Amino acid sequence: MQNEISLVSTFLNELTNANILGLNLICSSNVQYHNPLMGYLHSDQVQNLWQYSINNGIKYSNFEKPEVLGDGYFKVKGKLNYTIVKRSANEQPCNIHIRIENGKITEYSEAFSLHKMAQIHSPFWGWLLGWNRYYQNNMKIKARKRLFDFMNQR
């Protein structure tokens, strides 16, 4: 159990420091990932997402002590910081769920508010329509398109 908590702490440290090489070493080669904006990603898509996030100023901070959920699952509360063009850095709460199998991180997910993200990206329209499923799906489609365009350029 102590080794798993240490692995989670190392993962969070590497994520905070945007160290892709370190993340690759502690994650499984077929790591699964999910967040409300990007949806489900796996293996090389996750590695590209890390690079894309670093290039676009997305950072993590203020992680609390990992909470053991049992059966290799952990939950950690932290902050997601990102900069949107022409706006100052923004911060919102983010929960990260991690699963460890055979000494490697095999899946992790992030939970945050799409409505709040919409409000920061487009203050009036995000506030007005950010709760709407159509508006959120449009955000998701654009975000995934940007990621896959980034992957095709590499």
The rounded mean pLDDT for the chain is: 86
Closest listed residue to residue 105, CA positions, set 74, 80, 79, 76: 74
pLDDT tens for 26-37 read: 999 899 999 998
pLDDT tens for 103-149 read: 999 999 999 888 888 887 777 877 788 888 888 889 889 989 999 99
3-state secondary structure of 61: strand
**Dist. CA 31–CA 117, nearest whole Å:** 25
Domains and CATH numbers, the chain: 2-113 (3.10.450.50)
Element (H, E) at 98: strand 89-101
Residue 105 pLDDT: 94
Neighbours of 12 (CB within 10 A): 19
Closest listed residue to residue 26, CA positions, set 45, 37, 13, 40: 13
State the pLDDT confidence band at 85, using cuts at 50, 70 and 90.
low
**Dist. CA 82–CA 79, nearest whole Å:** 10
